[in-house]
């Protein structure tokens, strides 16, 4: 078990944050496998799991919530390694669609993330998996919404204090 400092200033919530941080570091660390970087594994998983219209650079960048340039470099590297192919997008003259090659699909069978997290998740009861999924989605949605600022909190407090609009 991961040990965290106890005493003044530490709460159960701090321990959960520490545990999530530890999991995220472990997940990142195992992403350096089979000659790929973590971002390259994310791209392979994304193109494998996404429907054809979403297999574009722009869609991958939106999914990861990062700029297009690093996504483009990642995908270009995967094309150069023979793990992805690029073909013209039928709906956009300057767009491309990406597909996994046979080598890309074969490599994805050895996905370190699924090999590492698959067994402990499979060992959970169905209701535990469902709860974990719901909780993770809530945490992700909160993080994607951005940090809570004092201005946002004050605006919400003012909205509540003002009550419903008067007609």
pLDDT tens digits along 72-124:
999 999 999 999 999 999 888 888 999 999 999 999 999 999 999 999 999 99
HSE (side-chain half, CA atoms, 13 Å) at 52: 5
Which residues touch 37 (CB under 8 Å, ≥6 apart)?
31, 74
- What is the rounded CA–CA span in Å between residue 116 and residue 25? 13
112-122 helix and 12-30 helix, angle to the nearest 10 degrees: 140
- What is the rounded CA–CA span in Å between residue 137 and residue 116? 20
- What is the rounded CA–CA span in Å between residue 124 and residue 121? 5
Q: Is residue 97 part of a domain?
A: yes
Q: Is residue 122 part of a domain?
A: yes
Q: Is residue 90 part of a domain?
A: yes
- DSSP code of residue 109: T
Residue 55 sits in a domain of what CATH number?
Answer: 1.10.10.10
Strands 84-88 and 96-100, sheet pairing: antiparallel
Total number of domains constituting the chain: 1
Residues of the domain holding 120: 37-145
Q: Is residue 102 part of a domain?
A: yes
Q: Is residue 127 part of a domain?
A: yes
Q: Is residue 15 part of a domain?
A: no
Q: Is residue 163 part of a domain?
A: no
pLDDT in tens, 8-43: 566 777 799 999 999 999 999 999 999 999 999 999
């Amino acid at each position: 078990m991961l040990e965290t400092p106890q005493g003044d200033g530490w709460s159960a919530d701090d321990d959960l944050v520490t545990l999530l941080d530890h999991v995220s570091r472990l997940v990142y660390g195992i992403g350096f496998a089979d000659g790929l970087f973590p971002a390259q594994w994310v791209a392979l998983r994304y193109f494998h799991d996404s429907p054809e219209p979403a297999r574009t650079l722009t869609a991958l960048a939106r999914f990861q919530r990062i700029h297009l340039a690093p996504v483009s470099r990642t995908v270009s590297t995967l094309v150069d390694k023979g793990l992805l192919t690029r073909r013209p997008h039928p709906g956009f003259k300057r767009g491309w669609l990406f597909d996994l090659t046979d080598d890309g699909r074969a490599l994805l069978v050895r996905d370190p993330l699924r090999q590492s997290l698959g067994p402990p998740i499979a060992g959970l009861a169905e209701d535990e998996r469902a709860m974990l999924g719901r909780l993770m989605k809530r945490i992700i949605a909160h993080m994607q919404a951005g940090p809570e600022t004092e201005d946002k909190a004050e605006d919400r407090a003012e909205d509540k204090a003002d009550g419903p609009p008067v007609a």
